Amino acid sequence: MKLVDFSLHTERSGFSQPVAINFRCGHIVDAVRMELARSRPYIQAPFSKLNIELYNESDSARKRCPFNVDGIALVSAAASESALLGDYNRFRSHAQSAMLQGVEEAALVFDWDASSFLEILNDIGSRETVCHYHLERLSKKDRKTGRRIDLYYDMTERESVLRAVVSDRNGNRLKEEVIAADYHPLPLHVVFPLRSTVLRDGHMIFRDRDGMSIATPFPYCEGCTTE
């Protein structure tokens, strides 16, 4: 079965601020989901979605029994509320440990070789920015000018930013501009519902799923005309 979804969250877990914890974990969850979608070959598992539910480490009675029903699995991981709500580096380290703890339990209970998925989690854990993605499918190269317009999406605990970076035919960076941003960690489709791009007369045009322009075209080459 293909693993396509993931969640790291808390519900009936003994924490005093579960909403704040879930919000803080959101950008890490989105990073994992994006990697699952990009992974080739796909990650295989005895379930299609893995839920890791955090519970307060001071109350082991909150730990839930693992289950796998209709392709949706749940395991639990102990966590410290002070660490989850502490400074960002401490939070990231603690959340990473909790994820690894949950995956190890899932591997044991469901007889799952989780090595490929653990590689994804370790890669995310080692990044300076949890979500930093080159949107290759949406990036474009102007054949006439040789200029390349690369789109990048960064998501941190404090913001989400879509950037355009323009390079010449030799790879020299010419300009960089923020296309869309939000002061919350949100998936790209929430911040900017971008589905396709096209180059026209020195501008990159951004389109939604219906092919409609959704923002002011980005001028990557003033005065240029495309083929």
Using one digit for the tens of pLDDT, what is the confidence trace for 89-106? Answer: 999 999 999 999 999 999
Are both 147 and 46 inside the same structural domain? no
Range of the domain at 201: 131-219
CA angle 79, 92, 49 (to 5 degrees): 70
Interval 174-196: pLDDT, tens: 999 999 999 888 878 888 999 99
Q: Can you give the pLDDT at residue 184?
A: 83
| Separation of alpha carbons 183 and 9, rounded Å | 21
225 part of a folded domain: no
Are both 162 and 79 inside the same structural domain? no
Burial class (CB in 10 A: 0-12, 13-18, 19+), 83: middle
Q: Can you give the pLDDT at residue 226?
A: 52
Are both 77 and 189 inside the same structural domain? no
Query: Buried (b) or exposed (e) across 25-36, using 16+ Cβ within 10 A?
Result: bbbbbbbbebbb
Interval 106-159: pLDDT, tens: 999 999 999 999 999 999 999 988 888 899 999 999 999 999 999 999 988 889
224 part of a folded domain: no
Up-side HSE of residue 100: CA atoms within 13 Å toward CB? 14
- What is the pTM for the complete model shown? 0.80
Q: Pairing relation of β-strands 49-56 and 5-9?
A: parallel
**How many domains, in total, are found in the chain?**
2
**What sign for the dihedral angle of Cα 9, 125, 178, 151?**
negative
| Separation of alpha carbons 159 and 188, rounded Å | 11
Are residues 149 and 142 in contact, defined by beta-carbon separation less than 8 angstroms?
yes
Are both 21 and 61 inside the same structural domain? yes
Q: Can you give the pLDDT at residue 128?
A: 87
At 131, list the tokens: 């979500």
Interval 19-64: pLDDT, tens: 999 989 988 998 999 899 889 899 999 999 999 999 999 988 888 9
Q: Which of 82, 98, 126 is the last residue of a domain?
A: 126
State the angle between helix axes of 88-109 and 115-126 in degrees (0 to 180), rounded to the nearest 10: 180
Confidence band of 225 (pLDDT split at 50, 70, 90): low
Does position 13 have pLDDT exceeding 80, yes or no?
no
Are both 117 and 175 inside the same structural domain? no
- Provide the β-strand partners of residue 50: 6, 73
Up-side HSE of residue 227: CA atoms within 13 Å toward CB? 7
Cα-flanking dihedrals φ and ψ of residue 86, to 5°? -85, -160
Q: How many C-beta neighbours within 10 Å does residue 172 have? A: 8
